[in-house]
Amino acid sequence: MVQFTLPAHSRIAKGRDWPAPAGAKRPKTFSIYRFDPDSGDNPRMDRFTLDLDDCGPMVLDALIKIKNEIDPTLTFRRSCREGICGSCSMNIDGLNTLACLKPIEEVKGEVKIHPLPHLPVVKDLVPDLTHLYAQYQSVEPWMKTDTPAPPGKERPQSPEERERLDGLWECVLCFSCSASCPSYWWSGSRYLGPAILLQAARWVFDSRDEAKPERLDALDDPFKLFRCHTIFNCTNTCPKGLDPAKAIADLKREVFKRAE
Amino acid sequence: MALKMQSPLGRARGRGAAKSGIAHHWFMERLTAVALVPLMLWFVAAVIANFGASHAEISAFFGQPWNAALMIMTILFGLYHGISGLMIVLGDYIHGPAKHLTLALAVPALAVLAGIYLIVCVLILALGG
Ligand code: SF4
Ligand code: FES
């Protein structure tokens, strides 16, 4: 059954306040969700005030600065710091996005940072992605063929066939979209969610793949695919500017066409 | 709580796909939505035109075959569309097979009853009852 209130242990308390450094010319406050499973305490919001004149332009720069110079226990994922690895996804100023692509200047007032919503929290801004990765594996995101590739060559694909994959291959699996989707919040154990469905579409519409029948079979389900209610939070939030809602609509149509 | 040692992939795959023809329902939701646009316009116009009318006048209104036909279509499409929406809401919020199955059987059954009742009412009026 759906739950509308937070369990007692998830309620967020007020945390520590780290004041602006002396002589800060452009102070900016970052209010950051903290949770340490080992402490047994409830999550809390810590506030850190930095001087923007002494900080890189992106939210990730601020997080790194805080970790390096103020509180080394602050925990978050990051790797490429240029929007390509998908690890630094989190909820900034109410929108799921990549911290390394989000300019601090875009946020008016305090910068509120939470982990991706509605996922179990491992620590601070690190959510548990186990189920999402398992769902990704369940759509078998690799090329499946019976016809062998031409000897010594790649599988041919026309420019038009290749174009069909534009807007799909660029996904960095940050899961901003899935974690923004109310349908995924309510039914995530069975609904695959926008990120996984966009990946499923990436293989369903690849002209080189020969497993479309079994791929569509696996999606022909009221929960796995059709739990999407075209809410569009996914498309709205995707930090790579992709359109998972359209990928899902294309998949629904593709399943429908099999009967008509 | 029982210890859960099932692998993440096993849990993600679950029971697999139902292949229950959901795409057809998905299409019918859209088809009935489109059909209901003119039907609702007609219905609102009919309500306004017959506001405060006597039983005999209403009876005469439904005595026109087109009016009765449009009314029955509005009932059928409206109920189908409304019930499919409600079934989706049940799927979203009522988890647990027993509870969900009970409602998933009860709601359409009530809708069929309501539909037959309303259509019989229209026919009785149309036939001068
Ligand atoms: S579609 Fe966009 S938001 Fe979703 S996982 Fe891919 S890159 Fe992230
Ligand atoms: S650090 Fe790689 S996407 Fe942000």
Domain spans of chain B, in order of start = 23-126
Both ends of chain B: CA-CA distance in Å?
62
Of residues A135, A190, A220, nearest to B23 (C-beta):
A220
A89 and A136, same structural domain? no
Do A102 and A94 form a contact (C-beta atoms < 8 A)? Answer: no
The answer to whether A121 and A128 are in contact (CB under 8 A) is: yes
CB nearest B23 (choices: A1, A227, A256): A256
Q: Are residues A174 and A65 both part of a single domain? A: no
Residue A101's domain is classified under what CATH number?
3.10.20.30
Q: Are A62 and A80 in contact (CB under 8 A)?
A: no
If you average pLDDT over every residue of chain A, what do you get? 96
What is the distance between the alpha carbons of residues A258 and B20, in angstroms, rounded to a whole number?
Answer: 13
Question: Any CB–CB contact under 8 A between B97 and chain A?
Answer: no
Is A113 a residue whose pLDDT tops 80? yes
Q: How far is A260 from chain B (nearest CA, A)?
A: 9
pLDDT surpassing 80 at residue A205? yes
In this structure, the residues whose C-beta lies within 6 A of any atom of ligand 1 are A 171-177, 194-195, 198, 238, 240, 242, 244
Considering only the beta carbons, identify the residue of A131, A186, A187 that sits closest to B12: A131
pLDDT greater than 70 at residue B95: yes
Pocket probe for ligand 1: among A175, A192, A232, the residue whose CB has the most ligand atoms within 8 Å is A175
Residues A41 and A94 in one domain: yes
> Taking residues B105-124, what's their average pLDDT?
96
Q: Tell me if A151 is assigned to some domain.
A: no
Residue A2 lies in a domain: no
What is the C-alpha to C-alpha distance for residues A114 and A10, in angstroms, rounded to an integer? 13
Domain match, A95 and A134 both: no
Question: Based on the domain organization, do A135 and A244 belong to the same domain?
Answer: yes
Structural domain includes residue A223: yes
- What's the A86 CA to ligand 2 centre distance in angstroms? 5
**What does the pLDDT read at residue B1?**
56
A177 with A100, same domain: the answer is no
* Residue range of the domain that includes A65: 8-121
Q: Is B21 left (phi over 0), alpha (psi -120 to 50) or beta?
A: left
Contact between A251 and A192 under an 8 Å Cβ cutoff? The reply is no
* CB burial of residue B111 (10 Å; 0-12, 13-18, 19+): middle
Query: Rounded to an integer, what distance in angstroms lies between the CA atom of residue A87 and that of residue A69?
Result: 22
Task: Check whether B8 has a pLDDT greater than 80.
Answer: yes
Output DSSP code: residue A178. G
* pLDDT of B3 above 80: no
Look up residue A126 and give its two tokens. 């690190």
Pick the residue whose CA is nearest to atom 7 on ligand 1. A171
Torsion of CA A196, A199, A204, A207, to 10 degrees: 180
Residue A3 has pLDDT above 80, yes or no: no
A29 domain-assigned: yes
Whether residue B128 has pLDDT greater than 90:
no
A208: exposed, middle or buried (Cβ count in 10 Å: 0-12, 13-18, 19+): middle
Ligand nearest to the CA of A63: 2
Look at residue A69 and tell me if it is in a domain. yes
Q: Are residues A52 and A117 in the same domain?
A: yes
Quick one: A13 and A59 in the same domain? yes
Give yes or no for a contact between A129 and A119, defined as CB atoms under 8 angstroms apart. Answer: yes
Whether complex ipTM tops 0.95: no
Q: A130 vs B8: CB contact, 8 Å cut-off?
A: yes
The preferred substitution site among A82, A96, A177, A243 for testing ligand 1, maximizing ligand atoms within 8 Å of CB, is A177
Residue A202's Cβ-side half-sphere holds a number of Cα atoms within 13 Å equal to: 23
Q: Specify the CATH class of B23-126 in words.
A: mainly alpha
For chain B, how big is the Rg over CA atoms in Å?
Answer: 21
Confidence bin at B117 (pLDDT 50/70/90): very high
pLDDT of B27 > 90? The answer is yes
pLDDT of residue A217: 97
Are both A206 and A225 inside the same structural domain?
yes
Residue minimizing CA distance to atom 6 of ligand 1: A171
Q: Report d(CA A130, CA A135) in Å as an integer.
A: 9
The pLDDT score that the predictor gives to residue B127 is 92
**Which residues on adjacent β-strands are paired with residue A121?**
A127
pLDDT tens-digit map of A40-78:
999 999 999 999 999 999 999 999 999 999 999 999 999
A144 Cβ neighbours under 8 A, 6+ residues apart: A203, A209, A210, A211, A214
Q: Identify whether A3 is part of a domain.
A: no
Which of A4, A139, A184, A190 best probes binding to B when mutated, by most B CB atoms within 10 angstroms? A190
Nearest CA in chain A to B20: A221
Give me chain B's average pLDDT, please.
Answer: 94
What is the Cα–Cα distance from A129 to A191, expressed in whole angstroms? 15
**Domain tally for chain A?**
2
Section A123-138 average pLDDT: 98
